[in-house]
Amino acid sequence: MKIIKNAEVYSPSPLGRKDLLIEGRTITRIADHIDEYDQIPDAEVIDAGGRIVVPGYLDIHEHITGGGGEGGPTTRVPESQLSVIVSSGVTTVVGLLGTDGISRSLENLLEKTKSYNELGITCYCLCGSYGYPACTLTGSVEKDIMLIQEMIGVKTAMSDHRSSNITGEELIRLATDARRGGLLSGKAGYVTIHMGDSPRMLEPLFYAMDHADVPITKFLPTHMSRNDNLLEDGIRYIHRGGYIDVTAGETTEGNEHLADRVMHVYEEAGTDHITLTSDGYGSMPKFDAEGNLVGLTYSTPKRLHELIRILVREKKVPLEEALKLLTATPALIISQAEHKGLIKEGSDADLVFYDDDMNIASVMANGSWAVRDGKVLMKGKFED
């Protein structure tokens, strides 16, 4: 049992100064004052000192088994580390594959997902990769989602020279399989769509919207901030009821530029239909005009909180609006809004504690300390 006192709680909506009672992995009570448990020997009492406490972040696009490989075997990105994830404020992750759906296998992805759940955070995964038809474990997207507990959706790629040039009709079939698998298993059953730089932009997705009965909320195009034209297509998509995802910058300068693009979406369409992800451990290749690889780095979840901080402190976005990008909205996308992305009675005790300068000081995942006063406590078995 833990009692957090004197916390300035954002749910992400502001709740004011509150005490939180945590039993096991669940927030069981929120009140102005919770004093009756103070004398119980096993109760851990934490005084937040009036500092801000927010929901744990959801990073629903992360290459937890590593990405890359576009330049051959030596360019494969290393696997993710739990210590980096939790120190970034992330308590829920969705793992997926990228360009390489062969040597980066679904078998490996599933086992990595299971390991993170055993170690203390919440982790899900997607079948599929850049290729179409989607790679699966059972031979069927629908079966993967229905029968594999951790599998909640499917990944594909569109408008990218590394993709299979998926058509609108193929996208409809893929989404229908994912949707049906989700209905049969009580999961999200959604399609994450990697977006490239092709002039086709969202054309196949708009076709699918106009010719299929799959709810628009079951498509999530990602990397939508990669260029201005694609972002404008994304705003059109939001106005039709869809959701888009943007990717955190590789550098502080990149996040400054991304903040301007997020502000543009915020002014045109609000923040309720936009999510932020890290693309963590995914490769960030640079190609010349002929499609030749000329540079390669990889992304990290460390940049997620930096963008939130820039939006709030420099762009003057209200904290509750900025937080939606990493909390309530991604929880809705993955059909976990009852348990994740909010601070409320009955939700999982996933919490991020800010210091006075809005840096991440402590993180709690499922009621256990992942980071405490800057010290990482939750690590992989073989991390230093």
What DSSP element (H or E) covers 235?
A: helix 228-239
- Candidate list 279, 350, 355, 356, residue with the active-site label: 279
User: CA 225, CA 57: separation in Å to the nearest integer?
Assistant: 20
Would you say 19 and 4 are in contact if contact means Cβ atoms under 8 Å apart?
yes
d(CA 67, CA 84): 16
Q: Could you tell me which residues are beta bridge partners of residue 294?
A: none
- 272 is known as an active-site residue: no
* Residue where the block lists tokens 């904290």: 319
The owner of tokens 């989602």 is 145
Q: Of the candidates 223, 284, 291, which has an alpha carbon nearest to the alpha carbon of residue 251?
A: 284
- Tell me how many degrees the CA angle 234-312-53 measures, rounded to the nearest 5: 110
Cβ neighbours around 197 below 10 Å, total: 15
**Structural contact between residues 121 and 378, judged by C-beta atoms closer than 8 angstroms:** yes
Helices 228-239, 252-269: crossing angle, 10 deg rounding = 30
Q: How far apart are CA 216 and CA 198, in angstroms?
A: 22
Active site residues: 279
